[in-house]
């Protein structure tokens, strides 16, 4: 193929992630983009492929006491504790401002019991502006949070099956990296009826203040995110994409166009950008532009042609 | 008011007595900050430290071309402040701002009468720079209480002396080692002033947590309202990461970066 000829055409950035059709593969990750509107004045929402809301519960939650975050080498620990406005306020106050924008709105849901996930899914099901639900079954920061759902294949499978019966929306299951075999959980999610996997959530970690000799975070443990986790997340995406027959959305320390390409090549059909938005609120739109430029320069016709290329035999 | 994520051109970094520095940067199209508001900045595009740092806008000067020259008063305490202090003229650094909710009482009619006490602990003086200027412009009299471990911590003493004296007020200094002003804590002369009938109707403070907590107690005991410019570890500075929770007396949390950094002294669970 002549790179010169194709470089004149604009590469096709669109991507199909199971039932979701996105204008480009760049989404913002849950818990890093607020509800979308926080960024309206600082970032150009229109250009994103999609955005994933802050995790929503049935009732509003106040979150964990301070200290909630700690910067680390190449990233940060957080223990926000799923502070959120509750699903009803999201649907009445926030969704109307997002629903007519080109990016697909994925609503991140979490509960403390299977019933709560089911009721959340029922609640958002009638809303056209909701393109998909993402089940947070892997948050490390709530004592009885979704974590047990994300660590036991049978429980996960049962949970997804129940949510499946509650909504016709595409179901994304966000996998925990804090397990021996994320791909086994991915298979369980598929058996339950999931449409898409997102991988991965944060890695459990901690930091200690050497001056006070105490853990920095009020909850002791927190979730590690940022560039520090990228190689770990990439490995999991590679394994999950190869071993589970579902489309994967890659997450973990993505900040540069090369990071995006790596996740696509590892088998992700799209990616979520998270912690990098804290460093620079325009990271996601910068990546959309940068990806287009890169594909044009390298004569790559489409995002689609890259997905999983690193897993194919030479 | 919209915060703008922009590039600031470093004009100079003035080395004050170590570890303090004053960084001036020209930022295109940034709206002037209200007293108490802040910016998120980083030393150029270095990969480390990963997150930007929150800095009060200490001083600012709008230019005729629509740009704003901001001054950030800093103290080198870690990798973030080190990177900023190491900036060289001409370097372009990310600046997001102005952010947060500043001092309310400045615009509050009821508080415009009576005198004010500004209480700074060390580098906390950075959070009171624009406020002192605004009070001076409004011809509202204030005393500036400036406390530190030793003389070099009172790095901007002369600026605050000038501003307070122009309003008929004065600068009061204390240091823990006695190298400037009275030996002791700055809360002692504040308490004495309140007791002696200095006529304060508002107390504004910025400094270490312990100082602000003490000021809140003293103000409450004296029946005086006040506000504090607080500080917490911050991820983003604009309300997305929810990492900068401040615990309120009502048991809830507020975000330092949005509802704050300035809070009423009586609403924070110190």
Walk me through the domains of chain B, giving residue ranges and CATH numbers.
Answer: 4-99 (2.40.30.10), 109-264 (3.40.50.80)
Residue of A nearest to B234 (CA): A69
Q: How confident is the model at residue B39 (pLDDT cuts 50, 70, 90)?
A: very high
Specify if A172 maps to a domain: yes
- At residue B100, does pLDDT exceed 90? yes
> What pLDDT digit, counting tens, does each position of A81-133 carry?
989 999 999 999 999 988 888 999 999 999 988 999 999 999 999 999 999 99
**Average pLDDT over chain B, rounded to whole?**
93
Is A100 among the domain residues? yes
Instruction: Name the catalytic one among A52, A77, A131, A139.
Output: A139
**Which pLDDT band holds residue B47 (cuts at 50, 70, 90)?**
confident
- What's the token pair of residue B267? 């609403």
Compute the nearest-CA separation of A84 from chain B (Å): 9
Contact B8, B25 (CB under 8 A): yes
The answer to whether the bond into A149 is cis (omega within 30° of 0) is no
| Residue A39 DSSP class | G
- Structural domain boundaries enclosing A113: 3-63+83-202+226-311
For residue A37, the chain B residue with the least C-alpha distance is B240
A223 as an active site residue: the answer is: no
Residue A3 has what pLDDT?
46
Collect all residues of chain A within an 8 Å Cβ-Cβ radius of residue B52: 278-279
CB contact under 8 A, A69 and B243: yes
* Domain contains A151: yes
Say if residue B112's pLDDT is above 80: no
With vertex at residue B108, the alpha carbon angle to CA B106 and CA B114, rounded to the nearest 5 degrees, is 75
Which of B51, B94, B253 shows the shortest C-beta gap to A71? B51
H-type helices in B90-225, by residue range?
129-137, 157-166, 187-195, 209-221
Tell me whether B253 touches chain A (CB under 8 Å): yes
Q: Is the pLDDT of residue B26 over 90?
A: yes
Measured distance CA(B179)–CA(B164) in Å, rounded = 22
Specify if A212 maps to a domain.
no
Which domain CATH number covers A145? 3.20.20.70
* 3-state secondary structure at position A308: coil
Q: Which residues of B touch A62 (CB under 8 A)?
A: 252-253
For residue B83, give Cα distances in angstroms to A74, B20, B44, B93.
15, 13, 8, 11
Residue B40 has pLDDT above 60, yes or no: yes
Give the residue ranges of chain A where pLDDT is below 50. 1-7, 145
Q: Do A65 and B3 touch (CB under 8 A)?
A: no
Is residue B171 within 8 A of residue B197, CB to CB? The reply is: no
Query: Cβ contact (<8 Å) for B94 and A67?
Result: no
Distance CA B191, CA B182 (A): 14
* Cis previous bond, A200, omega within 30: yes
pLDDT, position B108: 57
A220, part of any domain:
no
Query: Residue A204 pairs with which residues in a beta bridge?
Result: A223
Q: Check residue B15 and give its pLDDT.
A: 87
Q: Which residues of B touch A69 (CB under 8 A)?
A: 233-235, 241, 243-244
Q: How far is CA B57 from the centre of its chain?
A: 7
What is the count of structural domains for chain A? 1
Instruction: Name the residue facing A76 among B51, B238, B240 (closest C-beta).
Output: B51
* CA trace torsion A233, A236, A237, A243 (10° rounding): 180
Q: Does A66 sit within 8 Å of B247, measured CB to CB?
A: yes
| d(C-alpha B2, C-alpha B4), whole Å | 6
Q: What is the pLDDT of residues B220-262, one digit of tens each?
A: 999 999 999 999 999 999 999 999 999 999 999 999 999 999 9
Q: Are A72 and B49 in contact (CB under 8 A)?
A: no
> What is the ipTM for the molecules in this complex?
0.91
CA atoms of A286 and A134, how far apart (whole Å)? 24
Helix (H) or strand (E) holding B142: strand B142-148
- pLDDT tens, position by position, B168-183: 999 999 999 999 999 9
Query: Which residues does chain A have within 8 Å of residue B5's beta carbon, measured at their own beta carbons?
Result: 42, 280-282
User: Is the CB of B50 less than 8 angstroms away from the CB of A74?
Assistant: yes
- Chain B hits for A70, Cβ within 8 Å: 233
Candidates A138, A27, A42; CA nearest to A82 is A138
Q: Does A57 reside within a domain? A: yes
What pLDDT score does B106 carry?
Answer: 63
3-state secondary structure of B34: coil
């Amino acid at each position: 193929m002549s790179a010169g000829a194709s470089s004149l055409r604009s590469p096709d950035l669109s991507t199909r992630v199971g039932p979701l059709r996105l204008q480009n593969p760049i989404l913002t990750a849950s818990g890093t983009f607020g509800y979308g509107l926080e960024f309206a004045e600082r970032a150009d929402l229109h250009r994103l492929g999609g955005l994933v809301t802050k995790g929503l519960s049935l009732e509003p939650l106040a979150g964990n006491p301070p200290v909630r975050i700690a910067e680390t080498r190449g990233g940060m620990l957080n223990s926000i504790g799923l502070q959120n406005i509750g699903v009803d306020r999201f649907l009445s106050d926030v969704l109307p401002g997002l629903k007519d924008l080109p990016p697909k709105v994925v609503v991140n849901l979490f509960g403390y019991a299977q019933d709560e996930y089911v009721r959340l899914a029922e609640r958002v099901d009638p809303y056209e502006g909701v393109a998909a639900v993402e089940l947070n079954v892997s948050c490390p920061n709530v004592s009885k949070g979704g974590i047990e759902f994300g660590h036991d294949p049978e429980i996960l499978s049962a949970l997804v099956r129940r949510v499946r019966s509650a909504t016709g929306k595409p179901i994304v299951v966000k996998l925990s990296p804090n397990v021996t075999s994320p791909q086994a959980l991915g298979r369980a999610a598929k058996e339950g009826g999931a449409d898409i996997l997102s991988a991965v959530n944060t890695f459990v970690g901690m930091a200690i203040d050497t001056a006070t000799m105490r853990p920095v975070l009020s909850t002791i443990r927190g979730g590690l995110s940022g560039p520090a986790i990228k190689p770990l997340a990439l490995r999991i995406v590679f394994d999950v994409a190869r071993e589970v027959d579902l489309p994967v959305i890659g997450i973990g320390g993505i900040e540069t166009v090369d990071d995006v390409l790596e996740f696509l090549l590892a088998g992700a059909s799209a990616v979520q950008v998270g912690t990098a938005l804290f460093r620079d609120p325009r990271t996601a739109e910068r990546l959309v532009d940068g990806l287009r430029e890169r594909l044009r320069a390298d004569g790559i016709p489409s995002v689609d042609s890259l997905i999983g290329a690193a897993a194919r035999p030479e | 008011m919209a915060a703008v994520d922009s590039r600031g051109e470093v004009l100079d970094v003035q080395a004050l007595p170590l570890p303090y520095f004053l960084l001036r940067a020209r930022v295109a199209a940034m709206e002037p900050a209200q007293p108490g508001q802040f910016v998120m900045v980083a030393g150029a595009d270095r990969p480390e430290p990963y997150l930007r740092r929150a800095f009060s806008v200490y001083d600012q000067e709008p230019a005729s071309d629509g740009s704003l020259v901001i001054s950030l008063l800093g103290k080198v305490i870690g990798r973030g402040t080190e990177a900023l202090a190491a900036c060289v003229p001409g370097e372009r650094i990310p600046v997001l701002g102005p952010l947060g909710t500043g001092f309310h009482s400045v615009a509050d009619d009821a508080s415009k009468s009576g005198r004010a006490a500004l209480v700074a602990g060390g580098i906390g003086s950075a959070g009171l720079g624009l406020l002192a200027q605004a009070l001076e412009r409004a011809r509202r009299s204030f005393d500036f209480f400036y406390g530190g471990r030793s003389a070099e911590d009172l790095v901007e003493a002369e600026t605050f002396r000038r501003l307070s004296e122009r309003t008929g007020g004065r600068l009061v200094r204390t240091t823990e080692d006695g190298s400037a002003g009275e030996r002791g804590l700055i809360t002692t002369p504040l308490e004495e002033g309140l007791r002696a009938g200095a006529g304060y109707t508002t107390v504004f403070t910025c400094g270490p947590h312990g100082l602000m907590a003490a000021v809140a107690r003293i103000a409450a005991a004296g029946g005086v309202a006040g506000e504090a410019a607080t500080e917490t570890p911050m991820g983003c500075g604009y309300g997305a990461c929810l990492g900068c929770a401040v615990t309120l007396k009502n048991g809830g949390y507020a975000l330092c970066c949005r509802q704050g950094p300035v809070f009423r002294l009586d609403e924070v669970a110190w």
